[in-house]
Amino acid sequence: MAFIGIDLGTTTSEVAVYRDGAPRVLSDVQGNTIVDSKVGIDPADRKLKVGNVVSDFVKHDPENGVSEIKRRMGDDVTIELGGENYSPAELSSMILTHLKESAEERLGEEVEQCVITVPANFPDPARRATRQAGEIAGMTVERIINEPTAAALAYGYDEDVDGEHVMVYDLGGGTFDVSIVEQVGPVLDVKASAGDPHLGGKDFDRALLDHVLDRLRREHGVEGIEEGTGAWHALLGKCEAAKKTLSACERATVDYTLTESVEIERSTFEDLIAPMVDKTEDAIDVALTEADLEKEDIDRVILVGGSTRIPYVQRLVERGMGQAPRSGVDPDKAVALGAAAQTAIIEGTSDQIIMDVSAQSFGTAIVDARTGQTGVYDEIIPANGKYQKEYTETYGTLYEDQKTIEFRVYQRESMADAERAEVGGEPNDGFTRLAKRVVDMPGPPGQELEATYTYTQDGTIDIRLYVPRTDEEVAFETRAEVDEEQIERSRAKVESAWKDSTYLDDVEPLMDAARRELESGDLSVEKQQEVETLMRRMKDALAAEDEAAVRQLEEELTDLLFELDL
């Protein structure tokens, strides 16, 4: 039985294992150690695939694939792929399954447990969704840990950092974190963490693309490259490649066609990203202030994440911190290595102790009794509060006829500007609503409601509500909690997508014809539903390898399509 560590990234993912006293990264079944975080339906055989092979066929047909799923984790959305709607957790579970199966092949044993990393700035619902994704993939998720903390842990395997303050600057594809840790003997003490959950290399690609589109129009008269089309995606890919070239060279060319291309100077690219990258300096300041340290107190700065290869980023960090950053561990693999190191801690083969913090604060939206203003953020757990600590707060009713308290829990990003959690009843910028619950409050004004918040080791919070007057515990669930049954349903759905049914080849042309009928838009609502129902039942029969049912449905669907064609 193996226990693996996974860095589930916005653009790339890695899997590692702890063996013979050290963590090491494993390559996937396609032979890549850095695995593209993409899921797609291969048009050649209509099978679901994961990883670097997806990048190839998605280039020509963006409809066939999904990327950047991590940016949607915890959102209440579904994403369509191959005619089926999936939650972000379900799609992420496919990436995790791929990594799990790769590890099983490399290690020659089954993988049962895992640790998955998330950005330090990941909100509670996104963390819970990550845990669900691991469970849908059939693993026991022993812990969700913060990426910069994992990187610091991995760094400690190669270098002696005892007694030092280390700053981890992690700029990846989709998120930015900066953490300050202190290593004291076996204890890795996270002093503070800050950052932006929506900043990364993907944003630089988009900025460069906008610039290129503008230049193509002005210099070559190229118009009408619509967002989301194949041409647009292809150009975005070329912009990312040019961005990487610019990390090593002074200029790069983005070719649209053989004769229509745009040359980019490194300085032009730097001007484009400066407004975004410069903001990371504010996060460094916040982290230093929160840790109660001066920049001179930082003994070393380590860079993690692919976007730290950009010279402008390296210069900014060097200038801001007054020292050259080091890149001891591989910036692409540090996080996965740290996740594997964490597995050893949980198993007890390593004597390290990690004391982590939450980059975000937690609180409730209240009515200010003095000003009457609503939606005011009342912080309960400050940012950079330590994990596994309990905080209790008491609320009271205000008016004579108040029979309820509406209890709304929020999480606030470390760099959020706004002070109010809600505006017009909706979450304000930088705030994530975790829960909303109306609690009955019988009795005269001043009745109390006690709320106890606990940081879990996953960086999520558990909340317990209690009404002292009635001595009652109030059942309470945060937004992203799901039951075992839902995990089971998701697992069945995702597994059915994976299944290589023996009968699929027989009925595929029929299913394609049915799909075309649906897409034609000529069907009445009633007929449309008939086709959809048969298709769904067919998918279930295929997944169950139920030959009799497949044959029966094959007949019914053939008849129906024949009737529609008349």
Ligand X SMILES: Nc1ncnc2c1ncn2[C@@H]1O[C@H](COP(=O)(O)OP(=O)(O)OP(=O)(O)O)[C@@H](O)[C@H]1O
Contact footprint for ligand X (CB under 6 A): 9-12, 70, 172-175, 200-202, 240, 243-244, 247, 305-307, 309-310, 332
Find out whether 23 and 17 touch, Cβ atoms under 8 Å.
yes
| Residue 125 touches which of ligand X, Mg ion, none (Cβ within 5-8 Å per kind) | none
Report in angstroms how near the CB of residue 7 gets to Mg ion at its nearest: 6
What are 101's two structure tokens?
Answer: 């199966």
Report in angstroms how near the CB of residue 171 gets to Mg ion at its nearest: 9
Residue least distant from Mg ion (Cβ): 172
| Residue 243 touches which of Mg ion, ligand X, none (Cβ within 5-8 Å per kind) | ligand X
| Residue 23 touches which of ligand X, Mg ion, none (Cβ within 5-8 Å per kind) | none
Closest CA to 13 of 114, 158, 116, 136: 116
**443 φ/ψ sector (left φ>0, alpha ψ -120 to 50, else beta):** left
Nearer to Mg ion, 117 or 361 (CB): 117
Nearer to ligand X, 134 or 200 (CB): 200
**Alpha-carbon distance 272 to 317, whole Å?**
18
Report in angstroms how near the CB of residue 49 gets to ligand X at its nearest: 18
Find out whether 444 and 463 touch, Cβ atoms under 8 Å.
no
| Residue 413 touches which of ligand X, Mg ion, none (Cβ within 5-8 Å per kind) | none
Report in angstroms how near the CB of residue 479 gets to Mg ion at its nearest: 25
Report in angstroms how near the CB of residue 69 gets to ligand X at its nearest: 10
Report in angstroms how near the CB of residue 147 gets to Mg ion at its nearest: 6
Report in angstroms how near the CB of residue 549 gets to ligand X at its nearest: 41
| Residue 38 touches which of ligand X, Mg ion, none (Cβ within 5-8 Å per kind) | none
Runs of H (alpha helix) within 304-394: 311-321, 334-347
What are the φ/ψ torsions at residue 375 (nearest 5 degrees)?
70, 15
What are the φ/ψ torsions at residue 192 (nearest 5 degrees)?
-165, 155
Nearer to ligand X, 330 or 532 (CB): 330
DSSP-assigned beta bridge partners for residue 24: 17
Provide the residue type at 539 as one letter.
K
Nearer to ligand X, 174 or 363 (CB): 174
| Residue 397 touches which of ligand X, Mg ion, none (Cβ within 5-8 Å per kind) | none
Nearer to ligand X, 333 or 412 (CB): 333
| Residue 501 touches which of ligand X, Mg ion, none (Cβ within 5-8 Å per kind) | none
Q: Give the pairing type, strands 461-467 and 448-455.
A: antiparallel
Residue least distant from ligand X (Cβ): 201
Of the candidate spans 5-13, 84-92, 93-101, 483-491, the one that interacts with Mg ion by CB under 5 A turns out to be 5-13
Report in angstroms how near the CB of residue 9 gets to Mg ion at its nearest: 4
Q: Give the pairing type, strands 390-396 and 140-146.
A: unpaired
Nearer to ligand X, 308 or 501 (CB): 308
Report in angstroms how near the CB of residue 73 gets to Mg ion at its nearest: 13
CA–centroid distance for 77 within its chain = 14
Alpha-carbon distances, residue 147 vs 151, 171, 359 (angstroms): 6, 11, 12
What are 177's two structure tokens?
Answer: 């974190």
Report in angstroms how near the CB of residue 252 gets to ligand X at its nearest: 11
Report in angstroms how near the CB of residue 118 gets to ligand X at its nearest: 8
Please tell me whether residue 441 adopts helix, strand or coil conformation.
coil
Report in angstroms how near the CB of residue 25 gets to ligand X at its nearest: 13
Angle 504-520/525-543 helices, nearest 10 degrees? 160
Closest CA to 388 of 414, 358, 364, 409: 358
Nearer to Mg ion, 9 or 65 (CB): 9
# chain residues binding Mg ion, by CB under 5 A: 2
**Alpha-carbon distance 407 to 362, whole Å?**
13
| Residue 74 touches which of Mg ion, ligand X, none (Cβ within 5-8 Å per kind) | none
Closest CA to 163 of 176, 137, 143, 182: 182
Nearer to Mg ion, 179 or 478 (CB): 179
Nearer to ligand X, 244 or 479 (CB): 244
Nearer to Mg ion, 148 or 363 (CB): 148
Residue 119 makes contact with Mg ion by CB under 5 A? no
Find out whether 506 and 551 touch, Cβ atoms under 8 Å.
no
| Residue 183 touches which of Mg ion, ligand X, none (Cβ within 5-8 Å per kind) | none
Member of 3, 5, 9, 340 binding Mg ion (CB under 5 A)? 9
Nearer to ligand X, 167 or 339 (CB): 339
**Alpha-carbon distance 151 to 26, whole Å?**
17
**Alpha-carbon distance 441 to 448, whole Å?**
8
Residues 162-181 touching Mg ion, rule: CB under 5 A, are 172
CA–centroid distance for 217 within its chain = 35
What are the φ/ψ torsions at residue 46 (nearest 5 degrees)?
55, 30
Find out whether 499 and 518 touch, Cβ atoms under 8 Å.
no
Nearer to Mg ion, 9 or 385 (CB): 9
Find out whether 207 and 264 touch, Cβ atoms under 8 Å.
no
DSSP character string of 513-563: HHHHHHHHT-S-HHHHHHHHHHHHHHHHHHHTT-HHHHHHHHHHHHHHHHH
**Contact footprint for Mg ion (CB under 5 A):** 9, 172
